[in-house]
Amino acid sequence: MTAAPKHAPSAGALPTGPPPPRGGVVVRWGGLALVTVVLLAAWQILPSGVQGNGSSVPKLDAVLKALGPSGEWGNYLKALRVTLGEAFFGLIVGFVAGVVLGVLLGESRILRQGFYPYAVALQALPPIALAPIFVIWFGLGMESKIGLVGAATLFPILVSTMAGVAETDRGRIEMATAFGASKAQIRRKIVFPGLVVPIFSGLEISVVLSFLAAIAGELISANSGIGVILQVYQRDFRLAEEFAVLTILVVVGLVLALLVRLARHVVLERMPNE
């Protein structure tokens, strides 16, 4: 704390990454290491200290053991494959529907006026609440989760695509029209390239949502997947395994977020510069 500059001259570091380690490097890394060690030590020591309900928090070494080579990796990976498959296929459904509807609503003002209030209302509905209905429609298998993920991921992409179309630079369209470009040409050369950035910002939200919606759907009713093994482990009081699965989810979530950023980077690099 003491090494923090009293009048930080430039507090404009981007919040999307840790601040540059300028000044007080020892304090920063020391603080991070200290907090980590204290947390891990507390995780190891405290659960045994609270003997009354000690079984409801597994000790650190038990979780590490469940994550080690003797853990049930067969079960973890099988469930993860199901859940990621649901998230992936659902995301494709939501993505295609979102982009198509977004372009339609963005291009026609009368359609936008007519449908947008309903899109807002549907977006205000927590997508998770649709899970019981999708189970009735599609059963307990992967299909109901794919439908749920599609419904959950549709709206962020729809809204950002529509905004992208609506915010296309009028001046450029007018110029292209003046040079005799057809409607199709304007779409292909001006409107669609401008959609890449907004679609990616929608996709970033939707990827997180897809994983979340798949697990939520499985918690309600399913026959395999992460949501199911979490509940099975809990029912059997095998909390070390349950926490191991949660740890794996953290890693998978981080990897997914990184993948989207990477994809955005690659696509933007490849795009012809204007």
Partner 1 sequence: MNKVTAASPRARRREPAAPRGPLLGDGLLARAAFLIVPPVVVGLLGVLLIQLVISRFEISGVVIPKPTDVYEVMSSDLFLEQVGQSTWETWKATLIGFVLGAGSGVVLGALMAESRVARFVLYPYVVAFQSLPKIALAPVCALWLGFGLTMKFSFSGMLAFFPAVIATLAALSTVPETRVEMATAFCASRRQRFFRISLPSAMPGIVSGLEISMAFALIGAIVGEFVAPSAGGLGQLLLTYSEAINVAAEFSVLVVLMVLGVLQNKILFGVVRAGTERFFESSR
Binders of partner 1 in range 221-240 (CB under 8 A): 226-227, 230-231, 234, 239
Residue choice 64, 84, 190, 219 for contact with partner 1 (CB under 8 A)? 219
- Judged by beta carbon, residue 68 or residue 126, the one nearer partner 1 is 126
Q: Does 77 bind partner 1 (CB under 8 A)?
A: no
CA proximity to 245, closest of 85, 80, 86, 87: 80
Closest CA to 215 of 93, 116, 63, 90: 90
- Is 178 among the residues that bind partner 1 (CB under 8 A)? no
Query: Min. distance of Cβ 49 from partner 1 in angstroms?
Result: 16
Nearer to partner 1, 142 or 213 (CB): 213
Please pick, from the candidates 63, 202, 203, 240, the single residue that binds partner 1 as defined by CB under 8 A: 202
Stretch that binds partner 1, among 60-68, 72-80, 88-96, 121-129 (CB under 8 A): 121-129
Q: In angstroms, what is the minimal distance from the CB of 179 to partner 1?
A: 21
CB of 218 to partner 1, least distance (A): 9
Interface with partner 1, residue 68, by CB under 8 A: no
Piece of the chain touching partner 1 by CB under 8 A; list 42-50, 60-68, 178-186, 192-200: 192-200
SS (H, E, C) the chain: CCCCCCCCCCCCCCCCCCCCCCCCHHHHHHHHHHHHHHHHHHHHHHHHHCCCCHHHCCCHHHHHHHHCCCCCHHHHHHHHHHHHHHHHHHHHHHHHHHHHHHHHHHHCHHHHHHHHHHHHHHHHCCHHHHHHHHHHHHCCCHHHHHHHHHHHHHHHHHHHHHHHHHCCCHHHHHHHHHCCCCHHHHHHHHHCHHHHHHHHHHHHHHHHHHHHHHHHHHHHCCCCCHHHHHHHHHHCCCHHHHHHHHHHHHHHHHHHHHHHHHHHHHHHHHCCCC
Shortest Å distance, C-beta 4 to partner 1 = 5
Considering only 176, 190, 208, 263, the residue that binds partner 1 (CB under 8 A) is 208
Q: Which is nearer to partner 1, 110 or 184 (CB)?
A: 110
If one asks whether residue 40 binds partner 1 (CB under 8 A), the answer comes out as: no
CA 101 to mean position of chain CA atoms: 21
The reply to whether 197 sits near partner 1 by the rule CB under 8 A is yes
Contacts to partner 1 from residues 43-62, by CB under 8 A: 56-57
Question: Do the Cβ atoms of 198 and 164 come closer than 8 Å?
Answer: yes
- Please name the amino acid found at residue 168: T
166 contacts partner 1 (rule: CB under 8 A)? yes
From candidates 37, 54, 96, 137, binder to partner 1 by CB under 8 A: 137
Which of 144, 153, 160, 168 contacts partner 1 by CB under 8 A?
A: 160
